[in-house]
Amino acid sequence: MSLDSRRRPPARTLTAALPLVAAVAAIGVSARVPVLGPLLVALVLGAVLANLPWAPGTTARAEQAAVGRFCLRLGIVLLGLRLPLGDVAAIGPATVAVVVITVAATYGLTVVVGDALGLERGLVTLVAAGFSVCGAAAVAAVQDGVRARERHVALAVALVTVYGTAMIGLLPLAAGALGLTTEQSATWAGASIHEVAQVVAAASLVGGPLAVALATTVKLGRVVTLAGVYLMAARREGASERTGTAVVPWFVAGFVVAVLVRSTGLLGPLALGASDVAASVLLAAGMFGLGLGLRLRDLWPVPARALVLATAATLTAAGTSLALILLLG
């Protein structure tokens, strides 16, 4: 073996590293343009690479996608370490009720409308999960369990990003027109807007740091429901009957355990900070892996019925949460 060959990294090492490298790049881009979100950027990077004339071969893309799927599952587990139940409970029973009812209503009505529109079942399930819980992360978690088509994943992520971004400006304007208090506006943002970064941006427009803190806590309350929404999605798709596996996969169980561990207060700031960074990198790597399976011709033009469904899901989340805030507040 020559010296040059010994120095050359094995192909499998490069294959395994690419999703992680892409994830770091996506996080860097998102830091400069926070509205985009690292998961969307990573998905787009994967799709761009897959559609280049000099794209990696089928075998290499399959290996990278497999690495991405494993990273995605680990990222979902670590996502649970962001969610102390004590902080969620501190927002009060009325706000907890707003969160739970809004998630259930948004998921349920989105499914009903999507089925009535005749959209493919997998796409409807992804949109329902993403718009009711936590955007792209929820889409990614559900797709891994119900084995949705990759083009449906990309479309659902794009829709939840576009509609959530629009709400950054629209919700503060509506809150002002309705005469809502800062607390009501922050709660509304956390209970209705799709991505955490979008919630922070909107809350900063309706108040100061306290509004951002309240809106973020309410939003994390929605994220806690991810395991329950996953179970509803799996039941709807008949995943256990199709695959012959348990309804609750290891990464969803791990997510629940991580929430409980975080709630004990045993982890210090250093460990929590490291897990937060790791979760972001792993989730982005997973989305990059999904992007590698996409062909842009499958995404354009966007079906008009999908836009109708996304609009209905957004209006349900915003309308249900607002009505409950005014009723219970």
The 10s digit of each residue's pLDDT in 228-241 is 888 888 887 765 44
CA distances from 66 to 16, 60, 288, 289, 320 (A): 9, 10, 11, 7, 39
Question: What is the mean predicted confidence (pLDDT) over 268-278?
Answer: 89
Which residues does 151 contact at the CB level (< 8 Å), separation at least 6?
294, 295, 298, 299
Q: What is the pLDDT of residue 103?
A: 95
Residues 87-97: b if buried by 16+ CB within 10 A, e if exposed = ebeebeeebbe
Name the most confidently modeled range: 75-89, 94-108, 279-293. Answer: 94-108
pLDDT of res. 230: 86
Query: What is the rounded average pLDDT of the residues 110-132?
Result: 93
The H-assigned helical ranges of 84-195 are 85-89, 93-117, 121-132, 136-146, 150-178, 182-192
pLDDT of residue 267: 86
d(CA 11, CA 198): 39
Is the bond preceding 53 in cis, omega lying within 30 degrees of 0? Answer: no
Task: Compute the average pLDDT of residues 102-106.
Answer: 95
Quick check: 97 pLDDT over 90?
yes
- CB-based contacts of 305: which residues, under 8 Å, 6+ apart? 117, 118, 119
- What is the spatial distance between Cα 128 and Cα 134, in angstroms, rounded to a whole number? 11
| pLDDT at position 292 over 80 | no
Average pLDDT rounded to a whole number, residues 111-118: 94
Comparing C-alpha atoms, which of 185, 179, 153, 182 is closest to residue 318? 185
- At 16, is the pLDDT very low, low, confident or very high (cuts 50, 70, 90)? low
Q: State yes or no: pLDDT of 315 exceeds 90.
A: yes
User: What pLDDT shows up at residue 328?
Assistant: 85
pLDDT tens digits, 28-81: 888 888 767 787 788 788 878 777 766 555 556 566 667 777 887 788 788 778
| Region 184-212 average pLDDT | 84
Residue located via tokens 């005749």: 118
Nearest alpha-carbon partner for 213 in 225, 195, 200: 200
Query: Per DSSP, which regions of the chain are E strands?
Result: none
Containing 197, the helix (H) or strand (E) segment is helix 196-206
Most confident of 31-40, 50-59, 148-157, 211-220: 211-220
Query: What is the domain partition of the chain in residue ranges?
Result: 17-328
Using alpha carbons, select from 222, 242, 55, 17 the residue that is nearest to residue 145.
242
CA end-to-end span of the chain: 74
For the ranges 50-54, 104-108, 190-194, 325-329, which has the lowest average pLDDT?
Answer: 50-54
124 closest CA partner among 108, 111, 135: 111
Model confidence at 295: pLDDT above 90: no
Nearest to 182 by CA among 155, 151, 142, 213: 213
Mean of the per-residue pLDDT values of the chain: 80
**pLDDT score at 206:** 85
Task: From 281, 314, 245, select the one nearest 23 (Cα to Cα).
Answer: 281
Q: Which of 182, 225, 186, 221 is nearest to 203 (CA)?
A: 186
Q: Pick the closest to residue 157 from 47, 277, 259 (CA basis).
A: 47
Structure tokens at 14: 């490069």
Highest mean pLDDT of the ranges 24-33, 51-60, 100-109, 212-221? 100-109
